[in-house]
């Protein structure tokens, strides 16, 4: 059963703590993405990776870090430097160059800073 999984579904963090959000896909997609969505807003790109061991900053990378050690996995760390981390975080994957980069999303992680 192919798809994208994200965990946890809900995450609560105290100010000053780093947290890591998991994203795994078994679609054999090369490219993976992290987006942030704030209430009533569209999606903003945080980081993306088109191949293993390589990734690029998106539009709002400050306060976030990623790694891409395996094709299937693209974890996102929200650091204490991120000033307003409460948001809905979405991971997506695609096959670059195929069908104009159709991206498919995981179920998301809702992060709340207490």
Residues at the interface with another protein (CB under 8 A): 33, 35, 40-45, 48, 50, 58, 90, 96-97, 99-108
Q: How far is the CB of 54 from another protein (least distance, A)?
A: 12
Looking at beta carbons only, is 82 or 109 nearer to another protein? 109
Provide the phi-psi class of 16: left if phi over 0, else alpha when psi is between -120 and 50, else beta. Answer: left
The 8-class DSSP code of residue 61 comes to -
Q: How far is the CB of 77 from another protein (least distance, A)?
A: 20
Looking at beta carbons only, is 80 or 110 nearer to another protein? 110
Residue 34 phi, psi dihedral angles, 5° rounding: -125, 130
Looking at beta carbons only, is 18 or 101 nearer to another protein? 101
Cα distance between residue 8 and residue 40, in whole Å: 22
Contact 13, 21 (CB under 8 A): no
Looking at beta carbons only, is 17 or 57 nearer to another protein? 57
Q: How far is the CB of 41 from another protein (least distance, A)?
A: 6
């Amino acid at each position: 059963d192919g798809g994208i999984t994200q965990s946890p579904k809900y995450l609560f963090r105290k100010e000053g703590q780093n947290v890591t959000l998991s994203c795994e896909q078994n679609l054999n997609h090369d490219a993976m993405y992290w987006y942030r969505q704030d209430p009533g807003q569209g999606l903003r790109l945080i980081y993306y990776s088109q191949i293993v061991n390589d990734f690029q900053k998106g539009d709002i990378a400050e306060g976030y870090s990623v790694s891409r050690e395996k094709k299937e996995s693209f974890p996102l760390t929200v650091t204490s430097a991120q000033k307003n981390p409460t948001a809905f975080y979405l991971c997506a994957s695609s096959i670059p160059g195929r069908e104009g980069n159709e991206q498919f999303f995981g179920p998301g992680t809702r992060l709340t800073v207490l």
